[in-house]
Amino acid sequence: SQKVKDAVLIPRYARINEHKITIGKAIKSFKNEGYTLVDCPENFSELGLKDFCVDRHLPDMLVFHQKTDFHAHPFYLNGNMILQDKASCFPAHVCQPTKGAHAIDACAAPGNKTSHLSALMKNTGKIWAFDLDSRRLDLLKKLTYKAGCKNINPVHGSFLETDPNDTQFAEVEYLLLDPSCSGSGIISRLDHLVDDDDEKKKNGKDADGKTQKERLQNLADFQISIIEHALKFPKAKRVVYSTCSIHPEENEHVVKTVLKRHPDFKLATRESVLPTWNRRGIPEEINGNKDLAECVVRTVPAEDLTNGFFVACFVRKSPNEQAEK
Ligand code: SAM
């Protein structure tokens, strides 16, 4: 409804594509255009019409007033910047792929996170980008070409059907998993949160004959299968899971199930999962375990001025840690 749209005015986030331009040069160019670089305010709604700042959590992100329209800007058209919500830039930063590494983006199209991984890897190493949907994969090819990515191998097909023991994947250490989800955190879809019929919908059935509970369960089962498949890659080191959902069923509950079934993996701790981001998981949704909740990241649209998002990172336990069990 209009009420929610008015309440959540997301600023214009622009991820600077370091394949094409440095953040320093981009800043200089925006200043020349008449924008003023300011210290990042606590609340982005305080940004003036011609102000911009470097995001305090993501070093490759510039933040502008919400009314800034960059769709005809040369930097957008030539791939120097990517108009991507701040929270959706979290997963690649959490993944931390190194130069020369081998990585997989399991549910990759349209490829915004793939091109981000590519930028962080400085166009070295290799990224296999899977997607089930050929039209979306075509878009990924176009967008990653425009972004100057040279280390991406797009693959049309289900990630679930890849063989983790295939020799071509022998060195894959980084996996980014951004599977289909309810999308309940996306701002334009937040209307249902203030819908008087919300409770009714929860218990009633939708056109597909499923209750919300059943739909979330189906999504969660799929999300868990994607994570479990990723954990089978022999050298998997950092496996990042994300959703743009606000439902614990797709977030903390999924993580809880995977940890229970895979004692050889644990969650990466806060120190390597956006340590400066203060909104973490909901302890009550993860066995009341505050330590586990600290390891994961959440965003809340009305308060963080981003889409609603969730990120967790699974890491393999060391042989010593595994022996302790
Ligand atoms: N990561 C993308 C980005 O940032 O641009 C967005 C990914 S979107 C949330 C989920 C994608 O998963 C969809 O494009 C969908 O076609 C794809 N998908 C669903 N099931 C899949 C599967 N089994 N294997 C690979 N891709 C799948």
Mean pLDDT of 96-112: 98
**Residue range 188-216, pLDDT digits in tens:** 655 445 444 444 455 567 767 789 999 99
Evaluate: CB of 178 within 6 angstroms of ligand 1: yes
Q: Is 95 annotated as catalytic? A: no
- Identify the band that residue 321 occupies on the pLDDT scale cut at 50, 70 and 90: confident
Distance 35 CA to ligand 1 centre (A): 36
What is the secondary structure of 155-191 as a DSSP string? EES-GGGS-TT-GGGTTEEEEEE------TTSGGGGG
pLDDT value, residue 206: 72
Average pLDDT (266-274) is 98
- CA distance from start to end of the chain: 50
Q: What is the ipTM of this complex?
A: 0.99
Atom of ligand 1 nearest to the CA of 176: 1
Q: Give the whole-number percent of the chain exceeding pLDDT 70.
A: 92
Highest mean pLDDT out of 6-10, 194-198, 301-305: 301-305
- The residue-averaged pLDDT of 284-290 equals 97
- Spatial neighbors of 258 by CB under 8 A, at least 6 apart, are 224, 227, 228, 231, 265, 314
219 in contact with ligand 1, CB cutoff 6 A = no
Find residue 154's DSSP bridge partners.
129
Residue 165: C-alpha distances to residues 229, 297, 316 (Å): 11, 31, 17
Rounded to whole angstroms, how far apart are CA atoms 92 and 119? 10
For ligand 1, atom 9: residue with the closest CA:
180
pLDDT tens column, 118-137: 999 999 999 999 999 999 99
pLDDT at 100: 98
Band (152; pLDDT cuts 50, 70, 90):
very high
Average pLDDT over the chain, rounded to whole? Answer: 93
Q: Pick the catalytic residue from 53, 107, 149, 244.
A: 244
Which of these, 202, 198, 220, 221, lies nearest to 210 by C-alpha position?
202
Nearest to 75 by CA among 57, 62, 86, 66: 62
Using most ligand atoms within 8 A of CB, pick from 180, 186, 225 the residue to mutate for ligand 1. 180
CB 4 within 8 A of CB 194: yes
Q: Which residue's alpha carbon is at the smallest distance from atom 14 of ligand 1?
A: 109
Q: How many CB atoms lie within 10 A of CB 250?
A: 27
In a 3-state reduction of DSSP, which class is residue 153? strand
**Atom number in ligand 1 closest to CA 160:** 23
**Single pTM value for the model:** 0.94
d(CA 317, CA 265): 5
pLDDT value of position 171? 98
147 lines ligand 1 (CB under 6 A): no
What is the predicted pLDDT for the residue at 7? Answer: 55
pLDDT at position 190:
52
Tokens of 122: 């400085």
Asked which of 37-51, 143-157, 239-253 is least confident by mean pLDDT, the reply is 37-51
Measure 241 CA to ligand 1 centroid, in angstroms. 12
Whether the pLDDT of residue 57 is over 70: the answer is yes
For residue 15 and ligand 1, the question of a CB distance below 6 A is answered with no
